[in-house]
Amino acid sequence: MAPILGIWASGAQPAANATSFESIATTTVGSGGAADVEFTSIPATYTHLQLRAIARTNYSGGVTDTLVIRINSDTGNNYAWHQVGGNGSSAFAQSGTTTNLIYASYIASSTSGTSVFGASIIDILDYANTNKYKTLRNLTGEDRNGGGDLTLGSGLWQNTNAITSIKLTQGEGTSFAQYSHFALYGIKGAA
């Protein structure tokens, strides 16, 4: 296979080639739904991680829901996040500091319309480095023909531990809907 362009899907340009982007694990939610999706025992053999997902939740109180990210099962107030987004009529910005989660917004809810799923691409940089806090960024959104929301987001986990697990839940709902799909990839650096 010939080398490919060094382009991450959501826009950054780290060096990459056909042998540096590898699938680590995948989860597709079954008919009973799933309260959470967790990737565990993530090997430290990569330089960056990328999580790619389509998602829909059982939340019925609104037309959107959000992805919630927690790392290494840490439920303490060790996270911060920022977003700039659009809702079709105006742009907005929102943030959280000293929080117990990182939001990636927005994904589809049970009232988004039949068969509508949001999508999210999350880049987690230098995840195995034990000398720095961990930073991620994401592009997440859902369009439902007549409505829709998307954000560009960043997140911080204030911990120098290597990331070995990533847990995804919902901001409002209690489960991911059937056919929601989450795939974790590793991106290698040069030896």
Partner 1 sequence: MPATYEPIATTTLSTTATTVSFTSISGAYTDLVLVANVQRATTAENPSLTLRFNSDTGTNYSMTNLLGNGSSASSSRQSTQNMMNFSYFSMASAANTFSTYILNVMSYSNSTTYKTVVGRSGDAGAGTQATVGLWRSTSAITSIIVTNDGSPTNFASGSTFTLYGIQAA
Query: Where on the chain is the footprint of partner 1 (CB under 8 A)?
Result: 1-2, 4-5, 7, 9-11, 16, 18-26, 52-54, 84-91, 115-121, 139-152, 179, 181, 183, 185-186
Q: How far is the CB of 123 from partner 1 (least distance, A)?
A: 12
Q: DSSP secondary structure string, 32-88?
A: T-BS-EEE-S--S--SEEEEEEEEBB---SSSEEEEEEEETT--SS-EEEEEEEE-S
Residue closer to partner 1 (CB basis): 34 or 157: 34
Q: How far is the CB of 10 from partner 1 (least distance, A)?
A: 7
Bridge partners for 104 per DSSP: 67
Pick from 94, 97, 59: nearest CA to 78: 97
Residues 162 and 131: beta-carbon distance below 8 Å: no
Q: How far is the CB of 118 from partner 1 (least distance, A)?
A: 7
Q: How far is the CB of 48 from partner 1 (least distance, A)?
A: 13
- Tokens standing for 66? 């959000």
CA 172 – CA 191 distance, rounded (Å): 42
Residue entry with tokens 């840490």: 74
Residue closer to partner 1 (CB basis): 91 or 190: 91
Residue entry with tokens 């917004």: 105
Residue closer to partner 1 (CB basis): 113 or 133: 113
Residue closer to partner 1 (CB basis): 106 or 157: 106
Residue closer to partner 1 (CB basis): 46 or 157: 46
Q: How far is the CB of 102 from partner 1 (least distance, A)?
A: 18
